[in-house]
Amino acid sequence: MKCGICGKEYPSDYYFRFEGTCLECYGKMSPGERHEAKFGALMKHPMTSTSFEIHGYRVTKHLGVVRGLAVRSRSIFGRIGADLQTIFGGDITLFQELCEKTRDRAFDLMFEHATEVGANAVVGIRYDAEEVTDGVTEVICYGTAVVVEPE
């Protein structure tokens, strides 16, 4: 096997931390690079579903509930801009942006949690949102971390 970073040949996958990354190269990585290597190795094509199955795959192991929690607020200028948008009606794009970014962050945090427990898929994904205080939005994204393999 060959390391995708340094190009060194190894006799087996025993010498690899993650697919394509040997132990030596992994040891030289920063924490951020390690996270990216781990995330990419476990979820190359992130598999998610709001149902409890993924077509073409079977669940071989349930790893439990994983979650991501994000809390965001708008700046005072963003709040003023959104208030002006409400006067004219229509889409309140400044709040839509806030909600989307918060949902995305919660989803990403859930995936980080899933990779930490060794999952390669998350099923039964749900969101819940609440206004913590005026202008502050909390979003939690949760699901069941699983290991799947092709049928």
Distance CA 35, CA 102 (A): 21
pTM over 0.85: no
| Strand order across the 57-73 sheet | 47-48, 121-133, 136-150, 57-73
Question: Residues of the chain whose pLDDT is less than 70?
Answer: 13-14, 17-19, 38-46, 74-86, 89-90, 92-95
Average pLDDT, the chain: 82
How many C-beta atoms surround the C-beta of residue 36 within 10 A?
12
Strand ranges inside the chain, DSSP E: 16-18, 21-22, 47-48, 57-73, 121-133, 136-150
Q: Which CATH architecture has domain 45-150?
A: 2-Layer Sandwich (3.30)
pLDDT above 90: percentage of residues in the chain: 29
Q: Where in the chain is the domain with CATH 3.30.110.70?
A: 45-150
3-state secondary structure of 120: coil
